[in-house]
Structure 1
Amino acid sequence: MMHTAVGWHVELEFTEDDDQHTRAVAMVRLPDGTEVRAHGRASRHRADSRQPRVGEEVAGARALNELAMRLLTKAHEEIDSASGRTSHPIHV
């Protein structure tokens, strides 16, 4: 039995403004050329010290979580289209 290795590269890009907000954009390009994007956001309380890495971790995690849900939705839409029935997604 032959196995084919497939790899996906996920890109994360962060921006932080002066108002304690960090935004993340996550993007994955699938082997068929389709791109799926998602966004995440984190807010720092003004009394907290500035820790850009923490904001990136929170915003990045939220963007990746949304990306995962978009990929699940896409997969189920493809299953439904190919099978002519409604599939039932399992929520993570």
Structure 2
Amino acid sequence: MMQTAVGWHVELEFLEDAEHTRAAAMVRLPDGTEVRAHGHATRHHTDSNQPRVGEEIAAARALNELAMQMLTKAHGEIDAASGRTSHPIHV
């Protein structure tokens, strides 16, 4: 069986202030479709200012949303091709 290497690149961008971090995630699929998602993190006023931690939390939330959108999209394509309803497993 011949294998083909395929790669997708996910882009993450952040907007930050002293207490909030917003992340925007985007993946462009081989057919040109773009899937976008957002995540948010808020620093508690008693926590030390650690921007990287806010970025990690906001990014994780954006990537989680992106994953759910990709699952929904894939199951919609399965349903359209098979004529039946598929059942996504959420982990």
TM norm. shorter chain > 0.5: yes
Structure 1 residue ranges, 4+ long, deviating more than 3 angstroms after superposition: none
Gaps of 5+ in 2: none
Residue identity matched to 2:15: T
TM-score by length of 2: 0.96
Once residues 75 and 88 of structure 2 are traced to their aligned partners in structure 1, the CA distance between those partners, rounded to angstroms, is 7
Q: What per-residue deviation string (whole Å, max 9, x for no partner) do you get for residues 41-91 of structure 1?
A: 000011211110000000000000111000000000000011111000011
Q: 1:43 corresponds to which residue?
A: 42
After TM superposition, give the deviation of residue 31 of structure 1 in Å: 0.8
Once residues 76 and 44 of structure 2 are traced to their aligned partners in structure 1, the CA distance between those partners, rounded to angstroms, is 39
Question: Any idea what SS the aligned residue of 1:25 has?
Answer: strand
After TM superposition, give the deviation of residue 14 of structure 1 in Å: 0.6
Q: Is residue 58 of structure 2 the alignment partner of residue 66 of structure 1?
A: no
Q: 1:76 corresponds to which residue?
A: 75
Q: 2:7 corresponds to which residue?
A: 7
TM-score by length of 1: 0.95
Gaps of 5+ in 1: none
Q: What per-residue deviation string (whole Å, max 9, x for no partner) do you get for residues 14-37 of structure 1?
A: 11124x110001100111111000
Structure 1 vs Structure 2 CA RMSD:
0.8
Q: 2:89 corresponds to which residue?
A: 90
Q: Percent identity?
A: 82
Once residues 87 and 34 of structure 1 are traced to their aligned partners in structure 2, the CA distance between those partners, rounded to angstroms, is 22
